[in-house]
Protein backbone atom coordinates (compact mmCIF):
# COMPACT_ATOMS: atom_id res chain seq x y z
CA UNK A 1 0.00 0.00 0.00
CA UNK A 2 1.20 3.51 -0.80
CA UNK A 3 2.36 6.00 1.79
CA UNK A 4 1.50 8.88 -0.55
CA UNK A 5 -1.79 10.01 1.00
CA UNK A 6 -3.77 13.22 0.76
CA UNK A 7 -6.35 14.34 3.30
CA UNK A 8 -9.32 15.91 1.53
CA UNK A 9 -11.09 18.11 4.07
CA UNK A 10 -14.48 19.80 4.05
CA UNK A 11 -16.00 21.69 6.97
CA UNK A 12 -19.50 22.80 7.77
CA UNK A 13 -19.93 25.79 10.06
CA UNK A 14 -22.73 27.54 11.88
CA UNK A 15 -24.58 29.83 9.50
CA UNK A 16 -27.65 32.03 9.37
CA UNK A 17 -30.00 33.28 6.71
CA UNK A 18 -29.08 36.86 7.58
CA UNK A 19 -26.94 38.50 10.20
CA UNK A 20 -25.73 36.18 12.98
CA UNK A 21 -27.43 36.67 16.34
CA UNK A 22 -25.52 38.84 18.78
CA UNK A 23 -22.40 37.10 20.10
CA UNK A 24 -22.48 34.29 17.55
CA UNK A 25 -19.90 33.72 14.81
CA UNK A 26 -19.23 31.10 12.16
CA UNK A 27 -17.78 28.08 13.96
CA UNK A 28 -16.90 24.65 12.58
CA UNK A 29 -19.56 22.08 13.46
CA UNK A 30 -18.44 19.20 11.22
CA UNK A 31 -15.10 18.19 9.78
CA UNK A 32 -15.31 15.69 6.95
CA UNK A 33 -12.14 13.95 5.80
CA UNK A 34 -11.55 11.56 2.93
CA UNK A 35 -8.11 9.99 2.79
CA UNK A 36 -6.94 9.52 -0.78
CA UNK A 37 -4.13 7.21 -1.91
CA UNK A 38 -2.60 9.36 -4.65
CA UNK A 39 -0.54 6.52 -6.15
CA UNK A 40 -3.52 4.18 -6.48
CA UNK A 41 -5.99 6.99 -7.23
CA UNK A 42 -8.40 5.55 -4.66
CA UNK A 43 -10.34 6.83 -1.68
CA UNK A 44 -9.23 4.66 1.23
CA UNK A 45 -10.89 6.15 4.33
CA UNK A 46 -13.74 8.41 5.30
CA UNK A 47 -14.13 10.24 8.61
CA UNK A 48 -16.73 12.54 10.13
CA UNK A 49 -15.96 14.59 13.23
CA UNK A 50 -18.87 16.44 14.80
CA UNK A 51 -17.74 19.58 16.62
CA UNK A 52 -19.49 21.36 19.46
CA UNK A 53 -19.34 25.14 18.82
CA UNK A 54 -18.09 27.33 21.65
CA UNK A 55 -20.43 30.32 21.36
CA UNK A 56 -22.87 29.65 18.53
CA UNK A 57 -26.03 27.65 18.03
CA UNK A 58 -27.15 25.73 14.95
CA UNK A 59 -29.86 27.83 13.30
CA UNK A 60 -32.91 26.42 11.55
CA UNK A 61 -31.39 27.71 8.28
CA UNK A 62 -28.17 25.79 8.99
CA UNK A 63 -30.13 22.60 9.70
CA UNK A 64 -32.10 22.97 6.46
CA UNK A 65 -28.86 23.51 4.51
CA UNK A 66 -26.70 20.80 6.12
CA UNK A 67 -29.09 18.47 7.90
CA UNK A 68 -27.00 18.98 11.05
CA UNK A 69 -28.95 19.58 14.25
CA UNK A 70 -28.03 21.21 17.55
CA UNK A 71 -28.40 17.81 19.26
CA UNK A 72 -25.77 16.32 16.91
CA UNK A 73 -23.22 19.04 17.63
CA UNK A 74 -24.00 18.93 21.35
CA UNK A 75 -22.87 15.29 21.26
CA UNK A 76 -19.70 16.22 19.33
CA UNK A 77 -16.21 17.01 20.57
CA UNK A 78 -14.83 20.47 21.26
CA UNK A 79 -12.78 22.16 18.54
CA UNK A 80 -9.43 21.46 20.23
CA UNK A 81 -10.23 17.74 20.37
CA UNK A 82 -11.26 17.78 16.70
CA UNK A 83 -7.88 19.33 15.83
CA UNK A 84 -6.10 16.67 17.92
CA UNK A 85 -8.00 13.90 16.08
CA UNK A 86 -6.90 15.37 12.75
CA UNK A 87 -3.30 15.58 13.95
CA UNK A 88 -3.05 12.26 15.82
CA UNK A 89 -5.34 9.93 13.88
CA UNK A 90 -5.18 11.42 10.37
CA UNK A 91 -1.53 12.60 10.31
CA UNK A 92 -2.63 16.10 9.34
CA UNK A 93 0.67 17.76 10.32
CA UNK A 94 2.74 15.61 7.96
CA UNK A 95 0.23 14.79 5.23
CA UNK A 96 -0.70 17.25 2.47
CA UNK A 97 -4.31 18.29 2.38
CA UNK A 98 -6.81 19.76 -0.05
CA UNK A 99 -10.15 21.50 0.13
CA UNK A 100 -12.59 22.96 -2.39
CA UNK A 101 -11.57 26.61 -2.26
CA UNK A 102 -9.88 28.41 0.63
CA UNK A 103 -12.84 28.70 3.01
CA UNK A 104 -11.93 25.58 4.98
CA UNK A 105 -8.27 26.59 5.42
CA UNK A 106 -9.21 30.13 6.44
CA UNK A 107 -11.88 28.91 8.89
CA UNK A 108 -9.32 26.68 10.62
CA UNK A 109 -6.87 29.59 10.75
CA UNK A 110 -9.51 31.87 12.30
CA UNK A 111 -10.49 29.33 14.94
CA UNK A 112 -6.86 28.50 15.70
CA UNK A 113 -5.85 32.15 16.12
CA UNK A 114 -3.77 33.02 19.20
CA UNK A 115 -5.27 31.48 22.27
CA UNK A 116 -7.17 28.86 20.29
CA UNK A 117 -6.37 25.24 19.48
CA UNK A 118 -3.06 24.63 17.68
CA UNK A 119 -3.44 24.68 13.89
CA UNK A 120 -3.71 20.97 12.97
CA UNK A 121 -2.26 21.08 9.45
CA UNK A 122 1.16 21.32 7.87
CA UNK A 123 1.89 23.84 5.18
CA UNK A 124 1.01 21.76 2.11
CA UNK A 125 -2.54 22.82 1.20
CA UNK A 126 -3.99 22.61 -2.31
CA UNK A 127 -7.04 24.56 -3.42
CA UNK A 128 -8.72 21.84 -5.51
CA UNK A 129 -11.27 24.33 -6.87
CA UNK A 130 -8.50 26.45 -8.42
CA UNK A 131 -6.70 23.37 -9.80
CA UNK A 132 -9.94 22.08 -11.36
CA UNK A 133 -10.56 25.43 -13.10
CA UNK A 134 -6.96 25.58 -14.33
CA UNK A 135 -6.98 21.97 -15.54
CA UNK A 136 -10.23 22.53 -17.46
CA UNK A 137 -9.17 25.91 -18.88
CA UNK A 138 -11.95 27.76 -17.07
CA UNK A 139 -11.90 31.34 -15.92
CA UNK A 140 -14.82 30.81 -13.55
CA UNK A 141 -14.30 28.50 -10.60
CA UNK A 142 -17.22 26.12 -10.25
CA UNK A 143 -18.87 25.03 -7.05
CA UNK A 144 -18.29 21.41 -6.09
CA UNK A 145 -21.63 20.10 -7.39
CA UNK A 146 -21.18 21.99 -10.69
CA UNK A 147 -17.65 20.58 -11.02
CA UNK A 148 -18.94 17.04 -10.46
CA UNK A 149 -21.50 17.57 -13.21
CA UNK A 150 -18.86 19.05 -15.54
CA UNK A 151 -16.60 16.04 -14.89
CA UNK A 152 -19.46 13.59 -15.50
CA UNK A 153 -19.44 12.39 -11.88
CA UNK A 154 -22.46 11.81 -9.65
CA UNK A 155 -22.90 13.60 -6.35
CA UNK A 156 -22.74 10.94 -3.64
CA UNK A 157 -24.52 11.59 -0.35
CA UNK A 158 -25.84 14.96 0.77
CA UNK A 159 -24.35 18.23 -0.41
CA UNK A 160 -23.26 20.45 2.51
CA UNK A 161 -22.39 17.49 4.72
CA UNK A 162 -18.67 17.57 5.47
CA UNK A 163 -17.99 13.84 5.13
CA UNK A 164 -20.03 13.56 1.92
CA UNK A 165 -18.50 16.69 0.40
CA UNK A 166 -14.96 15.52 1.25
CA UNK A 167 -15.77 12.18 -0.44
CA UNK A 168 -17.03 14.00 -3.56
CA UNK A 169 -14.07 16.40 -3.64
CA UNK A 170 -11.76 13.38 -3.46
CA UNK A 171 -13.56 11.99 -6.55
CA UNK A 172 -12.75 15.27 -8.31
CA UNK A 173 -9.09 14.98 -7.24
CA UNK A 174 -9.03 11.45 -8.73
CA UNK A 175 -10.54 12.91 -11.92
CA UNK A 176 -7.75 15.50 -11.99
CA UNK A 177 -5.10 12.84 -11.31
CA UNK A 178 -6.33 10.76 -14.24
CA UNK A 179 -6.18 13.70 -16.64
CA UNK A 180 -2.74 14.79 -15.39
CA UNK A 181 -4.11 17.97 -13.85
CA UNK A 182 -3.25 17.41 -10.19
CA UNK A 183 0.03 19.07 -9.11
CA UNK A 184 2.99 16.71 -8.87
CA UNK A 185 4.20 15.93 -5.41
Mind listing the pLDDT tens digit for each residue in 140-178? Answer: 999 999 999 999 999 999 999 999 999 999 999 999 999
Total-model pTM: 0.96
Distances (CA, A) of 185 to 8, 32, 96, 123: 15, 23, 9, 13
Q: Residue 115: its pLDDT value, please?
A: 82
Q: Which residues pair with 12 in a beta bridge?
A: 30
Q: Are 33 and 88 in contact (CB under 8 A)?
A: no
Q: Are 132 and 149 in contact (CB under 8 A)?
A: no
Q: Residue 146: its pLDDT value, please?
A: 98
Was domain 5-178 assigned CATH 3.30.420.10? yes
Sorted by where each begins, the domain ranges of the chain are: 5-178
| 94-130: pLDDT as tens digits | 999 999 999 999 999 999 988 889 999 999 999 999 9
Percent helix, strand, coil in the chain, to 5, is 35, 20, 45
Mean residue pLDDT of the chain comes to 96
Please, is 100 exposed, middle or buried when counting C-beta atoms within 10 Å of its C-beta (0-12, 13-18, 19+)? buried
Residue 83 has pLDDT above 50, yes or no: yes
Q: Residue 116: its pLDDT value, please?
A: 84
Band of residue 185 on the pLDDT scale cut at 50, 70, 90:
low
**Residue 19 burial (CB count, 10 A):** 7
| 125-146: pLDDT as tens digits | 999 999 999 999 999 999 999 9
User: In the chain, what percentage of residues exceed pLDDT 90?
Assistant: 95
Q: Residue 1: its pLDDT value, please?
A: 44
Average pLDDT over residues 19-26: 95
Q: Residue 2: its pLDDT value, please?
A: 57
Amino acid sequence: MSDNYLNVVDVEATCWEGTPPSGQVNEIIEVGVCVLDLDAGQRVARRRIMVRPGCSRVSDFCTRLTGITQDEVDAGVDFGTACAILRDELSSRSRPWASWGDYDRKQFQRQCSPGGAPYPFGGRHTNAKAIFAQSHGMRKRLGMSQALEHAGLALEGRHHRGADDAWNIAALVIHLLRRGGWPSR
